[in-house]
Structure 1
Amino acid sequence: MELNTWLEIVSVIFGILYLVLMVRENIWCWIFGILSSAITVYLYTHVTLYLEAVLNIYYILAGFYGWHYWLNHTVKDSSITPVVTWKVNHHVITIISCGLLSVLLGYVMDHYTDSERPYIDASLTIFSFVATYMEAKKVLSTWYYWFVLNLVSIGLQFDRGLYFFSALSVFYTVMCIYGYRRWKKTMLSQTSIDTSLDN
């Protein structure tokens, strides 16, 4: 088996650990995310998915930010960072802005690089930047964003011969449903605690 295949397998294992711990709201998820992304930067560059490689550099930085944020923003008398929500208009602005940036970046990649799937690559990159930020801030609807992003990634990664990554994206897509339900439960328990404190 080639070195790149072994690296892909290791990255997938770290990625699975990252998501399982993320869903469980365990701060150690960020360490495995950082390690997985570091390997992925090399692999995506190798198959000319340059924006995906840049995105994973961002994931590394976001991993450090997420670790710091979760460590310093916990619920009183708890080790868990609270789950929050965004208003609808915030989502509308985010989606429109990301859509426009995706088209612009896709055009640049299409005309100035040898990227095989410039517009899909660009869209995944731009929206993933936002979804990762939402994840670090524990915004509940991040799971909606990730569900769509992972679903699209399945085809893109399979198309580029990254079969283990494609399988990981299938796992990620399914886990988004569980992640949403778990974070929603946490948010509701926070609300009941806040209400009891108010009384």
Structure 2
Amino acid sequence: MDIFKILEIVGVTCGMLYLLLIIRENIWCWLFGILASAITVFLYIEFKLYLEAGLNFYYILAGIYGWIFWSRHKNKDRKTPVTDWIPRSHLLVLFAGTLLSLGLGQIMDLHTDSPRPFIDAGLTIFSFTATYMEARKVLSTWYYWFILNGVSVWLHIDRGLYFYAALSVFYTFMCIVGYLEWKKSYTSQTV
């Protein structure tokens, strides 16, 4: 087994721990998210997924932000409360995200050797928002992640990153669990 497969397995393991801990609203999720993202940056550059590499660098920064935000915004149960956005916020995100994805995809198509520039761009742009929502504990982030992870399955298979494809399948299904768990927290806060 080569070093890239070993790193992929370690990155996938850290990513799984991150997801399981964030679903449980455990602040230690951020540590595993940061580790998984650092490994993934290296691998994605190697496999010419440049925007995904940049996105994972952002995930490292978002992990630090999430850790700080969750540490400072705790309720009486010592957890950061789950919130949600109004529909208008989602419409704005979808409109702006689509325009930015098309523009970034065009730039990547013209100036890099990225084999899937528009898919890479769309995943990158919308993942920025979903990650911000996750760090702020916005319930509807799970909808975004369900779609993003589903598309990522195909992209990873296309690039031969089969462990990451399997992780994306896991993430896709776990979005349902994450939504249900956070929904319980959200509902219990409003009662």
TM-score (normalised: structure 2): 0.99
Seq. identity, %: 62
Task: Say which one has the larger Rg.
Answer: 1
CA–CA separation in structure 1 for the residues paired with 2:77 and 2:69: 15
**Segments of 4+ moved more than 2 angstroms:** none
> Partner of 1:197 in structure 2?
none
CA–CA separation in structure 1 for the residues paired with 2:40 and 2:87: 33
1:143, distance to aligned residue in structure 2 (A)? 0.1
1:78, distance to aligned residue in structure 2 (A)? 1.7
CA–CA separation in structure 2 for the residues paired with 1:108 and 1:122: 9
SS in 1 for 2:115: coil
1:79, distance to aligned residue in structure 2 (A)? 1.4
SS in 2 for 1:115: coil
Root-mean-square deviation (CA), in Å? Answer: 0.4
CA–CA separation in structure 2 for the residues paired with 1:190 and 1:137: 16
> Partner of 2:49 in structure 1?
49
CA–CA separation in structure 2 for the residues paired with 1:182 and 1:111: 43
CA–CA separation in structure 1 for the residues paired with 2:150 and 2:172: 6
Q: Deviations over 1:85-143 (max 9, x none)?
A: 10000100010000000000000000010001000000000000000000000000000
1:21, distance to aligned residue in structure 2 (A)? 0.2
1:174 aligns with 2:170: no
> Partner of 1:195 in structure 2?
none
> Partner of 2:145 in structure 1?
146
- Aligned-partner residue type, residue 125 of structure 2: I
SS in 2 for 1:54: helix
CA–CA separation in structure 2 for the residues paired with 1:139 and 1:157: 27
CA–CA separation in structure 2 for the residues paired with 1:162 and 1:61: 24
CA–CA separation in structure 2 for the residues paired with 1:141 and 1:153: 19
TM-score (normalised: structure 1): 0.95
CA–CA separation in structure 2 for the residues paired with 1:186 and 1:7: 35
Aligned pairs, number: 191
CA–CA separation in structure 2 for the residues paired with 1:32 and 1:103: 32
CA–CA separation in structure 2 for the residues paired with 1:8 and 1:130: 25
> Partner of 1:32 in structure 2?
32
> Partner of 2:73 in structure 1?
73
CA–CA separation in structure 1 for the residues paired with 2:92 and 2:40: 30
- Aligned-partner residue type, residue 153 of structure 1: S
